[in-house]
Structure 1
Amino acid sequence: MKKLGLTLSAVCMLFVSASLFAADASAEVRINWKLDTAKENYALNNFSWKAGSQAEVRDSFDAASGASLKGSTKAFNAVRYADPASDKKAAMPAGLRGLFLFAVADWKLTDSHALQVTQNAGIITVRFIRKTTAYELKTDKKGNFNLLTGSKCAKDIAEKTDSGFAIKPEYVKAGGNPAKMSDLDWNKVKLVQDSFNPAAAYHYEGDLKFALENKVLSISGLMKRK
């Protein structure tokens, strides 16, 4: 009986801690992220994030386990979704969260998701396909990415198959292979705004700074809770 009491006490403490973090309307999330888009050096990839008063998570790809070293793939859901997390109401663009995961994953992910990063007149554009959705993140000419307007997506551009996913015929490049996400014809998809869930208890706003130097894409700044 005593053991049960201690267990319940521990559960209650965890619940209270989570509730306090969720109730902190002024909480900000600091982001520091880098990815070697040339896919040459894993050591350049990292994803550091700090939510509110919690300890900073400094994450990277763990070759031994083939996953993120500090478990950000799941742990970042504390930021991705508004409280309670079980409601799965997004507090930020799905495309941005998807982009963050590339820095804590094997190069195979950048290939299978057809990640491409370009820069033109200061504007950085990031595109990739995750499962059945295509994402495009774009900055202004100074490299500023706005959390409310910078991300767009096109849903249902692919369908699940026995071996993975295949681009729907109407969106494939002429002569392309539907099984290769890189053969998506972006001129054929209709992009719509990718933002937070309006039903979420809160969401994040602000600008993040994107920079592309020597094929290394970096993202830094604050996501402000509103």
Structure 2
Amino acid sequence: MKKLGFIFTAAFILLIAAPLCADAANDVKIDWKLDIAKENYAMNFFSWKAGDKAEVKDSFDAASGASLKGSTKAFNSVRYAEPAADKKAAIPGGLRGLFLFAVADWKFTQSHALQVTKKAGAITVRFIRKANAYELKTDKKGNFDLLTGSKCAKNIAEKTENGFVLKPEYVKAGGNAANMADLDWDKVKLENDTFNPEAAYRYEGTLQFTLKNNVLGISGTMIKK
């Protein structure tokens, strides 16, 4: 009876673990770096590998003015749960937005007011993307939690004929609404930025953020659940 009970228990554990093992083949590995202080395309890159697919080693292509390997669109296969056409996010929007800086023109970084700070080991990343403001934070060891690390304040800017401008109520005193760096972060209400609850699956886990000599790095594995 003891032997039979052991076999039953082992079989049950394998049964409930099977879906997790199957999804492990679809985890996404990330390796990313960006010089946050100056135009430095030789330093910047975005490498990602989804499951058993070939690794994408991407960077900014000055000739075309876009990402060399097309990650701006290709990464949507990770950004959204299948079918991607439904556009149900599987990762935080702020994280995907941050990845794009390494495969974009330096002017993109400046116009989106990217700022990175480090205090007591914790790294904070802030930027504005179209109408939304994003804040990504790590713990004191630089660990970024995909489920809780990203925050977003929506509709802090509005689209005009000349691009996006900050709404008056969010501009610093004496600031310029057309300058995203003039956003008063104390005036915005940040909410959790995570996966779409209606998505067929999501990515969890932690990514390691580093900041050294003005180079922001991100590495690790996003686990499909």
Shift of 1:40: 3.6
Q: Distance in 1 between matches of 2:198 and 2:130?
A: 24
Q: Distance in 1 between matches of 2:56 and 2:97?
A: 17
Contact 2:39/2:106 (CA < 8 Å) preserved in 1?
Answer: no
Partner in structure 2 of residue 15 of structure 1:
none
Q: Distance in 2 between matches of 1:39 and 1:201?
A: 39
1:78 aligns with 2:77: yes
Shift of 1:39: 1.5
Q: Distance in 2 between matches of 1:25 and 1:81?
A: 16
Q: TM-score, normalised by structure 1?
A: 0.89
Partner in structure 2 of residue 196 of structure 1:
195
Structure 2 gap ranges (5+): 1-21
Structure 1 gap ranges (5+): 1-23
SS at match of 2:96: helix
Partner in structure 1 of residue 154 of structure 2:
155
Give the 5 Å matches for 1:160-175: 160-175=159-174
Partner in structure 2 of residue 25 of structure 1:
23
Contact 2:114/2:127 (CA < 8 Å) preserved in 1?
Answer: yes
Q: TM-score, normalised by structure 2?
A: 0.89
> Which structure has the larger Rg?
2
Q: Distance in 1 between matches of 2:126 and 2:106?
A: 16
SS at match of 1:70: coil
Q: Distance in 2 between matches of 1:35 and 1:164?
A: 25
Counterpart amino acid of residue 35 in structure 1: L
Identity percentage of aligned residues: 76
SS at match of 2:42: helix
Partner in structure 2 of residue 88 of structure 1:
87
Partner in structure 2 of residue 223 of structure 1:
222
Question: Which range moves more in the overlay, 36-45 or 75-84?
Answer: 36-45
Partner in structure 2 of residue 128 of structure 1:
127
Q: Distance in 1 between matches of 2:79 and 2:139?
A: 23
Alpha-carbon displacement from aligned partner over 1:108-164 (angstroms, at most 9, x marks no partner): 111110000110110100000001000000000000000000000000101111100
Shift of 1:41: 1.7
Q: Distance in 2 between matches of 1:61 and 1:40?
A: 11
Partner in structure 2 of residue 105 of structure 1:
104
Runs of 4+ that moved beyond 6 A: none
Q: Distance in 2 between matches of 1:225 and 1:132?
A: 29
SS at match of 2:91: coil
SS at match of 2:222: strand
Q: Distance in 2 between matches of 1:135 and 1:38?
A: 19
SS at match of 1:42: coil
Q: Say what the alpha-carbon RMSD is for the aligned residues.
A: 0.7
Partner in structure 1 of residue 18 of structure 2:
none
Aligned residues: 203
